[in-house]
Structure 1
Amino acid sequence: MRFASYNVEWFDALFSDDGSLLEDGTWSSRYKITRADQVRALGRVFIELNADAVMIIEAPDTKKSRDTVRALENFAARFELRCRKAIKGFDNDTQQQIALLYDPDQMDVRHDPVASEAAPRFDGKFRIDLDIDARADVIGFSKPPLEVAVTTAKGAMRMIGVHVKSKAPHGARSPEEVMRLAIANRRKQLAQAIWLRARVDDHLAAGDPLIVMGDFNDGPGLDEYEKLFGRSSLEIVLGCDLPRAQQLFDPHAARALQSLTAATQTSARFYIPEEKRYLSALLDYIMVSPDLRAKRGQWRIWHPFEDAACYADIDLRTALLVASDHFPVVVDLDL
C-alpha cells in the first residue's frame, strides 16, 4: 500500500465557500500562479501519486459555510482519484486543516483521538515545566494532530498527521526580542514533540502498527537554537535516545541525523527575495514503528530536481513546482 504526506500551500484558496474548485485565471495565493494552473498541477501530482492514502497538510478550511471534507472530495471527483474519501481531525483557526484522503476500497478510516495520563487529547492542554522554574507551563497545538484508526484487509493500524508550525519570532522589534521569542517558540515546539512522543509510546506499548507523518518544520541543524536545547523536536519524536525497539524510523531523517555535512534529500523549496535564491530544506517525514520498518518499505520524496524520475518527466516536474512549495513524501509498504 502507498501512503503519502503532502503539504499543499494555500490549498484553501482554490475553493469557494460551497467547496467548488476555483479553476480560473485569477491569481492563486501562490506567487504569479493562477488558480487554474495550481488546481491542474495538483491534479497531475495526485494522479501520479496514485496513493491509497494521502495525509494533506494545509488542507482546505472548515469555517461557517466552508467544509474541508466537501472540498477535498470535490477535488478527488474532479480528477477521478481513487483516494476519493476524506476525513479531518479537530478544527483549527489557521485556514490550514490536517485531513486524510483515502481509498475506501482499500481501507476503513475514522478519526479516533485518544488520551492517556501521559498524553492528553491533542485538542486539550499539556502541562510541562519548560523553563525549569518549578511551575508547569500549559501548552496547546494551534493545529492539533490528526489521529486516525485504519483497518485494512490485513489488519488494523494507526496514523497520526502532524503540522508543527514554524518557530519564526513574529512581532519582534529588536535583536533581543528576536532571541527571546525564538527561544520561547523553540521551547513550545519541543514540548509539543514531547507530548507527541508520549502518544507514540502509548501506541508502541499497545503493539499498534504506527505511522507518524507530516510537516515538522524542524530537523537537525535547522537553526542555532537547537544547540541550546541539545536536540530537535524531530529527534524527540523519533526516539533517537531510546532502544531501537522503541524508535520510529524514516530513512531521510536517519541520513540527515548522521552528520550535518552529509548529503541529504530535501522536501521543500522556498524563495528568499532578499538573497534572490531558493532555500531547500528537509521538513516532511513519514516515520514508522519497528514492526512496519521490518516490512522494508520503499521511501521516496517526489522532488522535481532531486528525484531522477520526477526530473525526467517535464510535465510532472513542472506540476510539482506549480502545485506547492513542498513536495510529496511517499512510502510503499507491503501490508
Structure 2
Amino acid sequence: MRLATYNIEWFANLFDRKDRLIVDDSWSGRQNITKAQQVEAIAKVLTAVDADAMLIVEAPNTGKTQNSVRALQGFAEAFNLRTSHAVMGFANDTHQELALLYDPAVLTVRHDPKGTGSNDAPRFDGAFRIDLDIDATEDLVEFSKPPMELAVTTSDGASFRLIGAHLKSKAPHGASSRDEAIRISIANRRKQLAQAVWLSRRVRAHLEANEPVILLGDLNDGPGLDEFENLFGRSSVEILVQTGLFDPHAVSSHTDTPPSTARFARPADGGYLEALLDYIMICDDLRALNPRWRIWHPFHDPACLAAKELHDALLTASDHFPVTLDIDL
C-alpha cells in the first residue's frame, strides 16, 4: 500500500465558487504560472505518485458555496484518478483544508475525531491548555487548521488511525521590524510546540488503546531548523518522535546533506531555500511491515530528475514535494 502527503500551494485558487476547475491562462497563486499550467502539473504529479491514499495539505476551500470534498472528487474525475473519493475533517477559516483523496477499492475511510473529557488530549476542534514556557500561566491553544483524524480499514481488514496535520508556521508574517519579527517568531514557535504536544497526547491515547497510528502532513518544523529552537530545547518533530513515532527523514535531518521536501525562492539573491517540513510518521508496531519512504524531489530523487516531464511538473505544481510511504498493511 502507498500512502502520501502533499502540500499543494494555492490549490484553492484553481476552483471557482461552485468548485469547478479553472483551466485558463489567468495567473495562479504561484509566480509566473497560469492556472492551466498548475492544474496540468498537479494532475501529472498525482498520476505519477499513484498513491492508494494521499493527504492533500492546503486542499480547496469549504465555505458557504464551496466544498473541499466536491472539488477534489471533481478533480479526480477530470483526470481519471483512481483516488476517486475524498474525505475531510473539520473545516477552517483559512481556505486551506486538510483532506484525503483515496481509492475506495483499497480503503474504507471515515472522519472519526476522538478526545478525552479532560484537558489531557481534547478533540482537535477544541481548546488545549498548557503552560509551555513555565511561567505559571496557562496558554489557551487552538488549531487554525484542526488536524483530521480518520479511522481507516484496508480491503484485507487491517485497521489503523490516520492523523493528517498542518502545524502552525513559524514565519514572522506581517513583521515590520527585526524586533517584531523576533517576537512573532517566538510566539509562533510557542504555539507550534503546544500543537505538537497536543498531537502527541492524542497519538499516545491511541497507542495505549493498541491502535496503530500514522501521522502525516506538513509539520512546518524539523530538528535544528532555526535558531529559536534553542529557547525551547526541542522541535515539534522531536516531540512527536519521542511519543513513539518514526520517520527516517527526521532522524537524518542532522546529517551534512539533510533531506528536503520543500523549495522556496529567495528573491533577494535569486537562490532557493530548501527545508524538511513534510513527514509520514508511523508507530513502532508498523515498522515491522517493511516500510519504505520516498521524497519525490525533482533534483534529489534520481528517478524524478531523469523524467523531465515529471521533474517539470513537480516544480510547477507546488513549492512542496510529495512524500510517500510504501508499507505492507
Q: Does 1:79 align with 2:73?
A: no
Percent sequence identity over matched residues? 57
Cα distance in 2 between the residues matched to 1:321 and 1:37: 11
Matched, 1:53 2:53: yes
| Residue 232 (structure 1) aligned with residue 204 (structure 2) | no
Misfit runs of 4+, over 4 Å: none
**2:290 aligned partner:** 296
TM-score after normalising by structure 1? 0.95
Q: 2:214 aligns with which of 211, 214, 226?
A: 211
Structure 1 residue 36 displacement after superposition: 0.7
Q: Which residue of 1 aligns with 2:309?
A: 315
Q: CA deviation at 1:39?
A: 0.6
Q: Which residue of 2 aligns with 1:181?
A: 184
In the comparison of the two structures, how many residue pairs are matched? 326
Local SS of the residue matching 2:95: coil
What pairs up with 1:235-314 in 2 under 5 angstroms? Answer: 235-239=238-242, 247-256=244-253, 259=254, 261-314=255-308
Partner of 2:124: 122
Q: Which residue number in structure 2 is paired with residue 145 of structure 1?
A: 147
Amino acid paired to 2:328: D
Equivalent residue number for residue 68 of structure 2: 68
Amino acid corresponding to residue 313 of structure 1 in structure 2: A
Query: What's the counterpart of residue 156 of structure 1?
Result: 159
d(CA) in 1 for partners of 2:260 and 2:176? 32
Residue number in structure 2 paired with 1:8:
8
- 1:30-67 per-residue CA deviation (whole Å, 9 max, x = no partner) reads 11111111111111111111111000000000011111
TM-superposed deviation, 1:167: 1.2
Pairwise CA RMSD? 1.1
Deviation of 1:19 (Å):
1.3
8 Å contact kept, 2:168–2:191 = no
How far apart are the structure 2 equivalents of 1:79 and 1:71? 13
Q: Which residue of 1 aligns with 2:205?
A: 202
1:111-134: CA deviation from partner (whole Å, max 9, x where unpaired): 011002311011110001133232
Any idea what SS the aligned residue of 2:18 has?
A: coil
Alpha-carbon offset, residue 105 of structure 1: 0.6
Work out the CA distance in 2 between the residues paired with 1:270 and 1:4. 21
Q: Which moves more between the two structures, 127-136 or 228-237?
A: 127-136
The whole-number CA distance in structure 2 between the counterparts of 1:280 and 1:169 is 18
* Amino acid corresponding to residue 17 of structure 2 in structure 1: D
> What is the TM-score of this pair, normalised by structure 2?
0.97
Determine if contact 2:304/2:311 at 8 Å carries over to the other structure. yes
- Which secondary structure does the structure 1 equivalent of 2:245 belong to? coil
Structure 2 unmatched ranges of 5 or more: none
Partner of 1:222: 225
Q: What is the alpha-carbon distance in structure 2 between the residues aligned to residue 170 and residue 16 of structure 1?
A: 27
Question: What SS does the corresponding residue of 1:104 show, helix, strand or coil?
Answer: coil
Q: Could you say what secondary structure the match of 2:90 adopts?
A: coil
Structure 1, unpaired ranges of 5+: 240-245
Partner of 2:104: 104
